[in-house]
Amino acid sequence: MPSLFEKINTLISANLHGLVDRALESNSVQVLDEYVRQVEKNLEALEDSTATVGGTVKTLKRKYEEFAAAAEKLDRDIDTLIVNGKDDLAAAAQADLNTKQQLSQEYYEQWQEQEKQYQAMLDMRVKLETRLTTIKQEREHLRGLIELAKAKQVATKTMKSLDGLAKVGDAEISSLSEQIRSRLDREDARLDMATRNIAEEIEEAVRGGEIENQLDERRKRLGLSGGAS
């Protein structure tokens, strides 16, 4: 059975021109209505899943910050214990520090992974909502086009696609079909731009995190504490 993400990707990548052509071929907007129902159903499921993942992201971030802060304090305490000659306590604290640092790293990695998924889900929601808005608008335009074609007694066999309607001699019908085609083209272009932009943002965020980790390692080797929070 297809996963939620697979269903949503299918809906996002649906050929809107093909949907409109099928509606024209059947002389009905029913095919568009079915697409709208599917989008609304999966959009609701996506919003529930996104809220769940978003909550997990906040929890993991909070856990990471708690363990990171505890580890930082413990690290300072160990230095104090060593200076005061309390080596046994320092050894026990060091073991505790190792555990906290490991847990902190694990929470950090989980947090970053879930954050990427959360951002991807938010992006999917925006694109799916945009698709829904577009198809609802074009449904009304298409319904008017079909009614106009019927009123002017355009033969059903000529209503096979937007291409076919664009070739019909009636200027009003041709103009409407071309307007629908142009709007769908613009929507496809916007979707391509949004997909590229979110991919670049995720890559930049991940790359920025790697650089900060490298700087932290350098600070540790130089005996410096702190750094960007």
Quick one: pLDDT at residue 110?
95
Burial 8-46 (b: 16+ CB within 10 A, else e): beebbeeebbebbbbbbeeeebebbeebbebbeebbeeb
Q: Burial level of 5, CB count in 10 A (0-12/13-18/19+)?
A: middle
Give the type of residue at 41: K
Q: Percent of the chain, pLDDT > 70? A: 66
- Could you give phi then psi for residue 222, rounded to 5 degrees? -85, 0
Q: Give the Cα separation of 96 and 67 in Å (integer).
A: 11
Q: Give the Cα separation of 107 and 120 in Å (integer).
A: 20
Long-range CB contacts for residues 105-114, cutoff 8 Å, separation at least 24: 107/60, 107/63, 107/64, 107/67, 108/64, 108/68, 110/60, 111/57, 111/60, 111/61, 111/63, 111/64, 112/206, 112/209, 114/53, 114/56, 114/57, 114/60
Rounded mean pLDDT, 211-215: 62
**Is 224 among the domain residues?**
no
Q: What is the pLDDT of residues 153-192, one digit of tens each?
A: 444 444 455 555 555 555 655 566 666 667 666 666 666 6
**Is 227 among the domain residues?**
no
Q: Which two tokens stand for residue 15?
A: 């050929």
Quick one: pLDDT at residue 147?
72
Q: What is the pLDDT of residues 7-58, one digit of tens each?
A: 888 888 888 878 888 887 777 888 888 989 999 999 999 999 999 999 999 9
Using the predicted structure, report yes or no on whether residue 117 has a pLDDT greater than 80. Answer: yes
**Is 229 among the domain residues?**
no
Quick one: pLDDT at residue 155?
43
- SS3 state at 227: coil
**Is 117 among the domain residues?**
yes
**Is 13 among the domain residues?**
yes
Residue 82: domain span: 4-218
Residue in this structure with the two tokens 């799916």, named with its chain if needed: 128
**From the CA atom positions of the chain, what is the Rg in Å?**
29
**Is 139 among the domain residues?**
yes
Query: What is the number of domains present in the chain?
Result: 1
**Is 16 among the domain residues?**
yes
pTM above threshold 0.85: no
Q: Which two tokens stand for residue 187?
A: 């929507």
Residue 190's Cβ-side half-sphere holds a number of Cα atoms within 13 Å equal to: 15
Could you count the other beta carbons within 10 Å of the beta carbon of residue 78? Answer: 19
Using the predicted structure, report yes or no on whether residue 206 has a pLDDT greater than 60. Answer: no
**Is 95 among the domain residues?**
yes
Quick one: pLDDT at residue 154?
44
Give the type of residue at 90: A
Q: Give the Cα separation of 188 and 17 in Å (integer).
A: 10
Q: Give the Cα separation of 153 and 192 in Å (integer).
A: 38
